[in-house]
Structure 1
Amino acid sequence: MTSRLYYLGPWRLLSTEGEDTALALGEAIRDGAVEREQVFRDNWRTLSARVRVGGHTLLLKVPRARNRRRWERLLSLFRGSDALRTFRHLERMAGLGLQAPEPLIAGELRHYGMVTDSFVCYRFIEGRRPNGEDAPAVLRALRVLHSQGYLRSDAQLANFLISDDGEVVFIDFRLKRPRVFPRLQKARELDRFLRSCPEARHHLTPEESGSLWLQIAHRLENLSFARRNLKRQLRGRKRDRH
């Protein structure tokens, strides 16, 4: 899979398609000339929809909140947009021997060097949500990712798919290479997955279940959840006062 950069006026496009197809797709998405077959989310934070455009059935994502936050815009002076990073992460998964949606096109619009708008499109994968019976397969896929030195972020069972041919597919992920305490960070990600899929505990290896890192990770996650719950309660009290 080879991607190339193209330009559509002020828009910068990254695509695995040829120039003519990439520009046609970019123009249709920019102008909103797409058929929305199913909308998964459409709010101030993000647009996520299955669309039909140029003979392709795609998943379109527009990170609206990230495009608008001032500090995110400032950071984009030194790095690519969230959409282009998502495209690159999807590309990288194939090289890691793992399944993820195939990226087709991403675009970003900059103003004074800062990203003010962006989108990413990848091929829509037919599949089903995993359940407890899929725990061993999902756990194996997560181990492969960790063995390659990466985290996926938000490793909940709901952020995987089982494709029609039975493969585990990573969705809604953001690749990260842990630099500080990598074993602890991988253990924390494993603990988060176990919380979302308790059945997976029965499929841990003896080394994993008896790991000191996993025990520490579990305690840290408990503290993290307690802190979040406290923040929600405090916000709720403030709203009640008003």
Structure 2
Amino acid sequence: MQRTASAGPGRLECDGYRLEASVTDDEAVSLVRAVVERRYRVVTPLKDSRHCWAARVAIGGRDLVLKVPRARNRRAWERFLTLFRPGESIRQHRSIATLDHLGARGPEPILGAERREAGRVVDGFFLYGYVAGRQATSRDTRAVAEALLELHGHGYLRGDPQAQNFIIDEGQARFIDFKMQRPRFLTRIRLLMEYSKFLESMPFGYRYLDQATRDSRAFRLANALQAGLSCTRRLRKAAKRKLTGWRKG
């Protein structure tokens, strides 16, 4: 095991993988080797699709979630982009670590790992602490709205703010399945657009915005833009389903 000379704090190299970790070097190396050698116990499978594999796993007394972003590791375009930026696994770890740094309620950041060939990421995975609780429902609107607004107060988007992407633990909302982003342009509009998207799954969240925001032209514009994006996505999905049906037929 060695720490990369130019990577900076929290980055390591181990068995062909480049790591960014929020735990000690020794624990990071131990966890990566356990994953690579499949020395872990699957407690609960969470997802198994062409896009992603995820499971709650036990490794050395740790209760963790292991995720492998299959599609992003395989797509030619995604691989090309990793010539200029970290792969999905390390970017996901950075999001979790940033949320933790802000003091928001989310999973414990553990590590992200990626393996490169010819400068491109071809394999990777990330680990974070398992979040106990239950999936948010409409009766948890206030807790979710407050958590999202707190994050927006720091200037960050969480990405895909649907009710199903929050866990309720001891009456408070905790973030799961997110990729944080700090917009550099049109920050207020983009934050309000994300809140508008959240309202698609939890419409009563409207009442937790302050009156000035609700009455603002910026919020009306954000609602209109988000409605347009949502409509475009639905049309694209419908067209894709129809095209798939024609091909099968």
After TM superposition, the score normalised by the length of structure 2 is 0.89
Paired with 2:81 and 2:107, the residues of 1 have a C-alpha distance of 27
Deviation at 1:77, TM superposition (A): 1.2
Fraction of identical pairs, as percent: 34
How is 1:161-172 mapped onto 2 (pairs within 5 angstroms)? 161-163=167-169, 165-172=170-177
Give the aligned residue type for 1:232: K
8 Å Cα contact 1:132-1:200 kept in structure 2 = no
* Counterpart check, 1:73 vs 2:89: no
State the shift of 1:202 in Å: 2.7
Q: 2:155–2:182: 8 Å Cα contact kept in structure 1? A: yes
Q: 1:203: which partner in 2?
A: 208
| Shift, 1:97, TM fit | 2.3
1:55 to 61, 64, 68: 61
Q: Aligned partners of 1:16 and 1:233: how far apart in 2? A: 42
Q: Which residue of 1 aligns with 2:230?
A: 225
1: CA distance, partners of 2:142 / 2:245: 45
One-letter identity of the residue aligned with 1:194? L
CA-CA distance at 1:153 after TM superposition? 0.8
Q: CA deviation at 1:129?
A: 1.6
Name the SS of the counterpart of 2:72 in structure 1: helix
Letter in 2 for 1:133: R
The residue number in structure 2 matching 1:142 is 148
- 1:111-150 to 2 correspondences below 5 Å: 111-150=117-156
| Residue 29 of structure 1, CA deviation | 0.4
- Given that residues 161 and 171 in structure 1 are in contact (C-alpha distance below 8 angstroms), is that contact kept between their aligned partners in structure 2? yes
Query: Could you tell me which residue of structure 2 aligns to residue 183 of structure 1?
Result: 188
CA shift for structure 1 position 179: 1.9
Structure 1 residue runs without a partner (length 5+): none
Other structure's SS at 2:200 match: helix
- Counterpart of 1:98? 104
> Secondary structure of the equivalent of 2:121?
strand
Q: Residue in 1 aligned with 2:43?
A: 37
Distance 2:113 2:244 in 1: 39
Task: Please tell me whether the aligned partners of residues 130 and 157 of structure 1 are also in contact (alpha carbons under 8 angstroms).
Answer: yes
Tell me if structure 2 keeps the 8 A contact 1:12–1:108: yes
Could you give the per-residue CA deviations for residues 69-93 of structure 1, whole angstroms, max 9, x where no partner exists? 1111111111111111111111111
CA contact (8 A) 1:132 1:197 kept: yes
Alignment-derived partner of residue 154 in structure 1: 160
Q: CA RMSD in A?
A: 1.8
Between the aligned partners of 2:15 and 2:60, the Cα distance in structure 1 is 20
Structure 2 distance, partners of 1:228, 1:86, is 24
Unaligned runs of 5+ in 2: 1-8
- Measure how far apart 1:204 and its partner are: 2.5
- 1:213 deviates by 1.7
Q: Deviations over 1:31-75 (max 9, x none)?
A: 222211111111211011101111111000100100011111111
The alignment partner of 1:6 has SS state of strand
Which residue of the other structure, out of 108, 111, 116, is the alignment partner of 1:110? 116
Deviation of 1:19 after TM superposition, in Å, equals 3.0
TM-score (norm 1): 0.92
